[in-house]
Amino acid sequence: MEASSVSGEERHTFTRPVYLLDRPLVARVSLVVLVPGIFGLIAGFALGQSKVVYIALQVVAAIGGYVAGFEHRSGREAAIRGFIAGAIYGGGILLMHELTGDHPKTKLPDPAVILMAFTAGIGAVLAAIGAGARDAREKKGPAEPFKLDFSLWKPGEYYGFLSAAVLFISLFLPWYGTSSNPNAQINGHRGTFSAFQTFKVLDILLIGTCIAPFILAWIVARGHALGWRPGEVTMIVGMTAFVLIILNGVILGKPGAPDSEIELKIGWFVGLLGAAGICAAGVLRQAEQARDRKPPGVL
C-alpha cells in the first residue's frame, strides 16, 4: 500500500512516522510481534524481582502502545495492531513468570490468562488514541516547531516538583510496623513495612500522584490551552492521595491486625506531607493564574 499524500504530512518525524503498512514485511513482524514479545519477557522477569520496576515497565509499555498508533491511518487499523501486540506482550509476561517460577511481587489476576486479555484491550485502546492524534496532526497541516517555554513556570510548578519528590521518597521508607506483640502481623509477617511492601494498589496510585505535577508543568511549558484552570487537576489528585493516606492510617485503621498493635512509621507521615504539598501546589498554581488574568476593562 502506497503512502497517501495528506496535506501537511511530514514523514520520519516522531509524530508523523512512516506508516506500518508502508514498511517491509520483516519490519512489520518485528514491531508487532518481536518487540512486544521481548519486552513482555523482560517485564515477566521483573514481576518476580521488583514491584517498582514491573510497574515502571507497564508505564513504558503503555507509552509504547500509544506511540505505535501514530504508524496507522485509522483508529481501527491501529486498534487491531494494538490488540495483537498487547496480547503478545501479556503472553510474554506470563511465559517468563512461568519459566522463572518466582513469587510475583504484585498480584496477578485469577486465572492469570486474564492478564493477556487486559493487555490486549489496553493496547487496542491506546493505539487507537494514538492514531487519532496522528490524524488530527495531518488535518492541522505542517507541524509547528517543538518548543518548551520554561519561563511560563510559576512557583506552583516548583513546589509541585518538590512535593512529588517527597511523596515518592516516602514510598521507600517504613510506613507501618508491628509491636512486640507476637500476634501483630501485616500481610502475614512481622517487622517494618514500606508502602510497596504493604499495599497492592495504593502504592501504584501514589506513584501516579507523583507524576501529576510534572504533567501540569509539561502542559504549561508547551502553552497548551486547557478547559480548566492550570493546577485544578493537580489539586484534586493531591487531595485524593491525602485522603487515601488518612484512610489507611486513621479513619479505616492501619493495615494488619490487631490494629492497636500496628504503629505508624515515619514514611506514613512523610507521604502525608508530600500529598498535602501536591494539593497545595495545585491551589497555588490556580491563585497565580488568577493574579495574571486581568479584570475586564483593564488594559
Quote the pLDDT of residue 226.
64
Quote the pLDDT of residue 110.
81
257, β-bridge pairs = 185
Output the nine-digit C-alpha cell for 72. 496507522
Order the strands of the 192-194 sheet from edge to edge: 192-194, 174-178, 262-264
Quick: pLDDT tens for 219-261: 888 776 666 777 888 999 999 999 999 999 988 888 888 888 8
Q: How many Cβ atoms from other residues are within 10 Å of residue 99's Cβ?
A: 11
Quick: pLDDT tens for 70-128: 999 888 999 999 999 999 999 999 999 999 988 888 888 888 889 999 999 999 999 99
Nearest to 174, CA basis, from 152, 194, 188 = 194
Quick: pLDDT tens for 177-212: 998 888 888 888 899 999 988 988 898 899 989 998
Quote the pLDDT of residue 159.
94
| Domains of the chain listed by start with CATH number | 20-140 (no CATH), 150-292 (1.20.140)
Q: What value does the CA radius of gyration of the chain take, rounded to a whole number of Å?
A: 23
Burial call 262-295: b when 16+ CB within 10 Å, e when fewer = bbbbebbebbbebbbbbbbbbbbbbebbeeeeee
Q: β-pairing, 192-194 with 174-178?
A: antiparallel
Quote the pLDDT of residue 277.
96
CA dist 125 and 133 (Å) reads: 13
H helix intervals, the chain:
25-29, 35-47, 51-68, 75-100, 114-140, 155-170, 195-198, 202-222, 232-246, 266-292
Quick: pLDDT tens for 127-137: 999 888 888 77
Quote the pLDDT of residue 187.
83
Strand, helix or coil for residue 225: coil
Quote the pLDDT of residue 65.
92
Average pLDDT, the chain: 86
| Residue 177, CA atoms < 13 Å, CB-side half-sphere | 12
CA dist 10 and 237 (Å) reads: 37
Banded model confidence at residue 13, pLDDT cuts 50, 70, 90:
low
